Structure 1
């Protein structure tokens, strides 16, 4: 029990650091960690990751806004599409079979990694 609690707190610390430093990446760290380290079911890991990222993002956003390093024009335009996309994605999550969800997520992570390196 105590060992699992330390894993969860360390995972939270690492996720918060990643999200704050890079502006994203918390979910890509959280989802595989919750699936493989905490033995959480894939759909639940995806939904839980979003719930965890929200407060982390609020804190990071506050600091970014105070620092004046946010492009407001782009932010508000992307948020318009992002809210719709987030709604549709959340509705689709339960319709996607576990094996397909894992494959789609893995492909997305590989493409993102490839694009970041090259």
Structure 2
């Protein structure tokens, strides 16, 4: 029975994450990372890395739909992607060097700042 609830919980978290990712174009990490830490007991570093792999297919599906609806700004996408590729490499290399407790605090502050920015 525990396995059933684990799988059910994972599916519900995935459904909600996919919905938010599709609706807002991103943001799945703000849901999936805390869910992995608090609902599934995964350490902070591993939850960040796992979240990226979970979000990849969501982003591909959402991007395909946005592409079909002609909602993508290609010149801007190329410019931002150039910097994002290098930034993601540096961030991924840095992740393993940050202690879990500090990473949780940094992520929490980032989420609070993002939320404040959205409502102001």
Q: Same fold (TM over 0.5)?
A: yes
In 1, Cα distance between the equivalents of 2:19 and 2:90? 28
Q: Which runs of 4+ in 1 moved over 4 A?
A: none
In 2, Cα distance between the equivalents of 1:38 and 1:16? 18
For residues 5-84 of structure 1, what are the structure 2 equivalents within 5 Å? 5-84=7-86
Please list the CA deviations of residues 26-73 of structure 1 after superposition, one character each: whole Å capped at 9, or x if unmatched. 000000011000111111100000000011101100110110011111
CA drift of 1:22 comes to 0.3
Query: Does 2:98 correspond to 1:100?
Result: no
CA drift of 1:6 comes to 0.2
In 1, Cα distance between the equivalents of 2:12 and 2:101? 28
Q: Which runs of 5+ in 1 are unaligned?
A: none
From 102, 111, 114, the equivalent of 2:116 is 114
In 2, Cα distance between the equivalents of 1:24 and 1:63? 13
CA drift of 1:107 comes to 0.5
Q: TM-score, normalised by structure 2?
A: 0.97
Q: Which runs of 5+ in 2 are unaligned?
A: none
CA drift of 1:25 comes to 1.0
Give the number of aligned pairs.
Answer: 118
Please list the CA deviations of residues 60-117 of structure 1 after superposition, one character each: whole Å capped at 9, or x if unmatched. 0011011001111111110000111111110000000111100110000000000000
